[in-house]
Amino acid sequence: MRQVIIIGSGPAGFTAAIYAARANLEPLLIASSVEIGGELMNTTDVENFPGFPEGILGPDLMTKMQQQAERFGTEVLYDDAVALDLTGPVKKVTLGSGTVHEAATVIFATGSAPRKIGIENEARLSGHGVSYCATCDGFFFREKTIAVVGGGDSAMEEATFLTKFASKVYVIHRRDSLRASKIMQDRAFANEKIEFVWNAEIIDVLGDDAVTGVVLKDTVDGSERELPLDGVFVAIGNDPRTHLVHDVLRLTDAGTVWVDGRSSRTSVEGVFAAGDVVDATYRQAVTAAASGTVAALDVEHFLAARGDA
Ligand code: NAP
């Protein structure tokens, strides 16, 4: 039986792995069968992670974190956790391959998933002009007219990035002021290819096989109009990925995994949580990494108190 299994391969999971491995806990990290590295894999320049004054590409940062975790003995599995049995003293993690791994503790660091607008044709046209990842799909929109939905940092970052490809980028926001940080706002305002559509929400996505436009509703006067488009990038925030644990671990009103104060201790003994799955507020790479550290230290103390480590 393992001492600790870490589920998740973002900054929280890998930082927890670095600390746990250096504490000789020989962690097993369940990364994902699709893409290792979490949300930063869908980011371009990371300019605010300390230690990289010139910035670093998100995927490069995650590769370095993985190398650092493996250097100290973390075992990384490229598979998905599909079922968890967390309540007893032996935690069981079932993977997509069917293999079951056992451990005394689990660090749950599954991050968050992009939020959907929730309208019918959004799902139907997903992958056919509706996207949740500018760095993944921007390339397909060379010289096209597209829109980004949202008013936060993600929307500004995606809109600015997409101007490398598209001839025109609308930013559709439901209010008349942005939530994004000033530096990101200023960058978007200064970009001639970006045009803001204020007080508007998308109520329908148009197109048979591919997006041809959207129906906008004015959030002030309720009027509706069509906007012709080749693509829509949805960047309206993320929701914590709790589907594996929502009936086992206590959750907060914000939908994140509840933890005890500043610790990573969840409502179930021996189960710890870290990163975006516990954080509805800050959600930065560096805060996720810090929270991974907390989780690894909490695991160490838990095992030591039980006489296991
Ligand atoms: P966010 O800050 O929660 O912003 C979400 C935006 O989407 C808000 O403007 C919100 O509108 C809008 N929105 C939410 N639900 C909507 C809906 N159903 N329909 C239409 N619009 C909707 O999320 P985020 O931009 O993903 O950022 C999350 C966190 O990551 C933040 O802490 C951010 O600072 C951080 N982040 C940082 C960077 C960076 O530093 N480079 C880059 C990306 C993200 P309202 O404003 O009206 O609520």
Mean confidence (pLDDT) of the chain:
95
> End-to-end distance of the chain based on CA atoms, in angstroms?
13
DSSP string, 61-82: HHHHHHHHHHHTT-EEE-S-EE
Is residue 133 among the annotated active site residues?
yes
Residue 34: band (very low, low, confident or very high) from pLDDT cuts 50, 70, 90:
confident
Look at residue 309 and tell me whether its pLDDT is greater than 70.
no
Q: Phi/psi at 158 (nearest 5 deg)?
A: -65, -45
Category of 170 on φ-ψ map: left (φ > 0), alpha (ψ -120 to 50) or beta: beta
Q: Which of 30-39, 175-184, 188-197, 267-276 has the lowest mean pLDDT?
A: 30-39
Indicate if the alpha-carbon torsion angle 166, 167, 173, 179 is positive or negative: positive
More confident residue, 205 or 282: 205
> How far, in whole angstroms, is CA 224 from its chain's centroid?
32
Q: Is the CB of 236 under 6 A from ligand 1?
A: yes
Q: How confident is the model at residue 308 (pLDDT cuts 50, 70, 90)?
A: low
**In terms of C-beta density within 10 A (0-12 exposed, 13-18 middle, 19 or more buried), how is residue 154 classed?**
buried
Query: With bands split at pLDDT 50, 70 and 90, how would you rate the model's confidence at 136?
Result: confident
Nearest to 267 by CA among 275, 276, 278: 278
Which of 45, 6, 3 lies closest to 285 in space, CA to CA? 45
Buried b (16+ CB within 10 A) or exposed e, 216-225: bbeeeeeeee
Residue 44 has pLDDT above 80, yes or no: no
CA distance 150 to 237: 8
Which is catalytic among the residues 133, 204, 218, 239? 133
Is the CB of residue 96 less than 8 Å from the CB of residue 79?
yes
Contact 201, 222 (CB under 8 A): no
Instruction: Look up residue 89 and give its two tokens.
Output: 């003293």
| Residue 122 beta carbon below 6 angstroms from any ligand 1 atom | no
Ligand 1, atom 4: closest residue by C-alpha? 152
Per residue in 160-202, pLDDT (tens digit) is: 999 999 999 999 999 999 999 999 999 999 999 999 999 999 9
What would the mean pLDDT of 4-22 be, rounded to a whole number? 98
Residue type, 158: E
Q: If you measure from the C-alpha of residue 156 to the centroid of ligand 1, how many angstroms do you get, rounded to a whole number? A: 9
Span from the CA of 241 to the centroid of ligand 1 (angstroms):
17
Domains belonging to the chain, first-starting first, are 2-114+238-306 (3.50.50.60), 130-234 (3.50.50.60)
Cβ contacts of 19 within 8 Å, gap of 6 or more: 292, 293, 296, 297, 300
Share of the chain above pLDDT 70, in %: 99
Give pLDDT, residue 165: 97
**Could you identify the residue written with the tokens 């329908």?**
204
pLDDT score for 260: 98
Residue 279 Cα distances to 213, 238, 300, angstroms? 35, 11, 22
Tell which atom from ligand 1 comes closest to the C-alpha of 115.
15
Give, in degrees to the nearest 5, the angle at Cα 65 between 60 and 71.
125
